[in-house]
Amino acid sequence: MSANLIVDLTNTTDFPTSITAVSGATAIIGRIVDLVNADTFCNVWVATPGGVSGELAINIQTSDATTSGSFTDPTSGLIAATMPVNIASGGIFMANSGLWASGNQSPQSPLADGSLLCSGGIVFAGFQRPGRYARLNALSGAPNAVMAAGFITQKRTTGSGGGYSPSPGSGTVSV
């Protein structure tokens, strides 16, 4: 058995968007986001509509400064056994079709367990964020479609913080 947790994302998380791309975009350098008030365990998310085909490679970068050239990948120095799920060496989050999970077991497939977005949707991958600032870069070959990508991470709180309450008077919680 596994435990489940109900969380109020609005009051307990930071979820800034780093990339919004329109049809026909290729390589995109994402907006820098400041995650100073967030825990260091972080998730990256990527969302696309249906009809997106091909690999979608999102480069994750973090830094303690916003100066040019200071951003590095958060997986630097990790050995294979400690790499986050769905993130390859170099901080590359792979999503979409053309990956091993879709049946393409070719040597050119960059990651064996990438998340699929070929019918649209949203996918996540968690990683440990070593820097205060973060950004995402859509690498060349980004899909010829609308996409958005960003981060979601737990806010640092003092005291109880915001969150779930069983007493709004709307009845009992049913899960």
pLDDT in tens, 152-174: 988 876 444 444 444 444 444 44
CA angle 91, 92, 93 (to 5 degrees): 115
User: What b/e string do you get for 156-175 counting C-beta neighbours within 10 Å, with b at 16 or more?
Assistant: eeeeeeeeeeeeeeeeeeee
Contact (Cβ atoms closer than 8 angstroms) between residue 157 and residue 12:
yes
Token pair 């991958």 is at which residue? 125
Which residues lie below 8 Å from residue 11, measured CB to CB, with a gap of 6+?
A: 161, 162, 163
Q: Is this structure's pTM higher than 0.75?
A: no
Position with higher pLDDT, 95 vs 62: 62
